């Protein structure tokens, strides 16, 4: 099931590397640029793509115009994401005109759909290749083929390679204190609104040993916060299940926190809840997308749980760890959603009192069952529902964040914010905090006394240890 990528592609990598080295000797440096849209899985894929590019001897540039190879990693989860990607691809036309030798590749979920490949083929003739997520290990092969021939390359969506998990990728990580670790790829759930199972293929879990080695390596390099990624981590299955994988990771020596996303409510086992409550190395944050508070809509969404089951899982999680921060995803305006259904969602949000929710307007995705449902909801109704739900959650967020006022909490510093001299970081519960400080604190834990909180962030001052 799993293949070691070296055996397959080292040869292509070496040939391109040699070519780039020869060019450098004659004074020509080869640059690559990559822009990423979409979820953390896509961010993690881009880190692998960058790793491959570096191995091939490319240097990375933030300026598309300076690049010799230009890559766009796309998302297809909502129409807006695809339109944004297509508009960026449209903008690449003038770059190709000015620099005809540049290679332009579009990768990511959008290019795992036959109709989008056709669109790129015909409407964007300057795109050299497409590369769907399950095929990123073939990037060196594609670049090599393009450098040695004129034909454009569009990898077929139903290529059997899509059903393998590839090991041994070089990874160029964005940060040096937080890291993503994909533990599985794909999704088998086919929620009726969702494109992901079509773009990312069936579930493939990595071997636990490969995951443990990757995490060990990260801890040794000083990473403090590690997030395990999968569309549905609860259905992870190799020689162990997800709860056991977490236990094994927590047994590793070192000062680190482990997170995971996303959990599907139908698959949160009692064993997982028990491990979550017990292990101190697991961050006290649980992202549990509910999607709707109406049982009728949940059924139509093909989610395989009802609100009673969801609420009982929430209770169990809070019993296991009373400090747990709970977050969720919610879709408004799913086909046939009535005012009454929507009110049930609002009631559920008020009942659970999430620490944060990510709200989405339902977006019709071609070939998904929900796209064919009658009674699609009017855009204006969807927008009104989104605004109301956001208002309800905003008040809850304010109340929840205000609890931290006058308290001192541990924060992992992430970056300098746009506001000079102000740092931003995250609590163990994943809440955003701003405080004064300098760049040397990036990647460090600090204790912050919270002076003020609003719905979206907390603001305070660093307190020094006595
Ligand atoms: N595997 C994860 C996340 C999938 S995508 C999960 O099951 O929760 C992230 C979120 O995007 C989903 O949770 C859902 O709320 C939202 N989403 C997915 N498809 C959508 C669509 N067609 N329209 C609007 N929101 C969508
Ligand atoms: Fe999409 Fe559902 Fe799979 Fe999440 S679990 S990726 S929402 S099909
Ligand atoms: Fe988008 Fe693909 Fe992620 S559709 S949300 S990039 S899995």
* Tens-digit pLDDT profile for residues 357-414: 999 999 999 999 999 999 999 999 999 999 999 999 999 999 999 999 999 999 999 9
Which pLDDT score is estimated for 1?
A: 45
Which pLDDT score is estimated for 414?
A: 95
Which pLDDT score is estimated for 4?
A: 57
Strand partners, 434: 424, 459
Which pLDDT score is estimated for 168?
A: 82
Residue 3 has pLDDT above 70, yes or no: no
Strands (E), 215-312: 225-229, 257-261, 285-287
Distance 306 CA to ligand 1 centre (A): 17
Ligand 3 in reach of 196 Cβ (< 6 A) = yes
Q: Please give, one letter per residue, the 3-state secondary structure of 125-193.
A: CCCCEEECHHHHHHHHHHHHHHHCCCCCEECCCCCHHHHCEEECCCCCCCCCCEEEEECEECCCCCCCC
Ligand 3 in reach of 112 Cβ (< 6 A) = no
**Rounded distance between C-alpha atoms, residue 63 and residue 205, angstroms:** 36
Query: What does the pLDDT average to over 194-208?
Result: 92
Q: What percent of the chain has pLDDT over 70?
A: 96
Mean pLDDT of the chain: 94
319-367 pLDDT per residue, tens: 999 999 999 999 999 999 999 999 999 999 999 999 999 999 999 999 9
On the CB side of 273, CA atoms within 13 Å amount to: 19
How sure is the predictor about 160, in pLDDT bands with cuts at 50, 70 and 90?
very low
- Ligand that lies nearest to the alpha carbon of residue 200, given by its number in the listed order: 3
- Nearest-5° Cα angle at 303, 331 to 429: 65
Distance 375 CA to ligand 1 centre (A): 20
Atom 5 (ligand 3) nearest CA: 39
**Rounded distance between C-alpha atoms, residue 201 and residue 157, angstroms:** 9
Query: What does the pLDDT average to over 1-21?
Result: 79
Query: What does the pLDDT average to over 274-300?
Result: 97
- Report which DSSP code applies to 456: S
Residue 195 has pLDDT above 50, yes or no: yes
Which pLDDT score is estimated for 418?
A: 81
Cis peptide before 262 (omega within 30 of 0): yes
Q: Which atom number of ligand 2 is nearest to the Cα of residue 194? A: 1
13-47 pLDDT per residue, tens: 999 999 999 999 999 999 999 999 999 999 999 99
Atom 7 (ligand 3) nearest CA: 196
Ligand 1 in reach of 431 Cβ (< 6 A) = no
């Amino acid at each position: 099931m799993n293949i070691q990528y070296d055996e397959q592609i080292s040869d292509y990598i070496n040939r391109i590397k040699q070519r780039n080295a020869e060019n450098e000797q004659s004074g020509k440096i080869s640059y690559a640029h990559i822009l990423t849209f979409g979820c953390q899985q896509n961010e993690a894929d881009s880190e692998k793509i960058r790793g491959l590019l570096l191995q091939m001897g490319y240097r990375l540039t933030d300026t598309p115009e300076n690049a010799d190879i230009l890559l766009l990693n796309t998302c297809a989860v909502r129409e807006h994401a695809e339109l944004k990607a297509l508009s960026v691809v449209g903008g690449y036309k003038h770059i190709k005109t000015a620099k005809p030798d540049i290679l332009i590749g579009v990768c990511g979920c959008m290019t795992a759909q036959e109709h989008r490949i056709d669109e790129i083929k015909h409407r964007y003739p300057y795109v050299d290749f497409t590369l769907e997520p399950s095929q990123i290990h073939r990037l060196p092969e594609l670049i090599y083929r393009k450098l040695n021939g004129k034909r454009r390359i569009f990898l077929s969506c139903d290529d059997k390679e899509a059903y393998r998990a590839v090991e041994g990728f070089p990874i160029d990580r964005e940060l040096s204190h937080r890291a993503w670790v994909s533990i599985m790829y794909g999704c088998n759930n086919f929620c009726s609104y969702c494109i992901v199972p079509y773009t990312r293929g069936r579930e493939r879990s990595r071997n636990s040993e490969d995951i443990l080695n990757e995490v060990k390596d990260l801890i040794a390099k000083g990473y403090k916060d590690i997030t395990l990624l999968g569309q549905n981590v609860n259905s992870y299955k190799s020689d162990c299940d997800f709860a056991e994988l977490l236990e094994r990771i927590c047994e590793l020596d070192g000062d680190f926190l482990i997170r995971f996303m996303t959990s599907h409510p139908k698959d949160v086992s009692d064993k997982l809840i028990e491990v979550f409550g017990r292990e101190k190395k697991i961050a006290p944050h649980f992202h549990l997308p509910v999607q709707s508070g109406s049982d009728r809509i949940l059924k139509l969404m093909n989610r395989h749980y009802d609100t009673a089951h969801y609420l009982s899982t929430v209770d169990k999680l809070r019993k296991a760890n009373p400090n747990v921060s709970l977050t969720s995803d919610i879709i408004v305006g799913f086909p046939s959603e009535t005012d009454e259904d929507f009110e049930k969602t609002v009631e559920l949000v008020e009942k659970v009192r999430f620490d944060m929710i990510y709200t989405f307007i339902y977006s019709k995705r071609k070939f998904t069952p929900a796209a064919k449902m009658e009674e699609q909801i009017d855009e204006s109704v969807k927008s009104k529902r989104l605004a109301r739900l956001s208002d309800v959650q905003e008040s809850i967020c304010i109340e929840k964040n205000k609890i931290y006022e006058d308290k001192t909490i541990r924060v992992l510093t992430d970056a300098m914010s746009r506001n000079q001299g102000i740092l931003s970081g995250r609590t163990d519960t994943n809440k955003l905090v701003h405080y004064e400080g300098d760049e040397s604190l990036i990647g460090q834990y600090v204790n912050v006394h919270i002076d003020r909180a609003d719905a979206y962030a907390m603001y305070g001052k660093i307190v020094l240890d006595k």
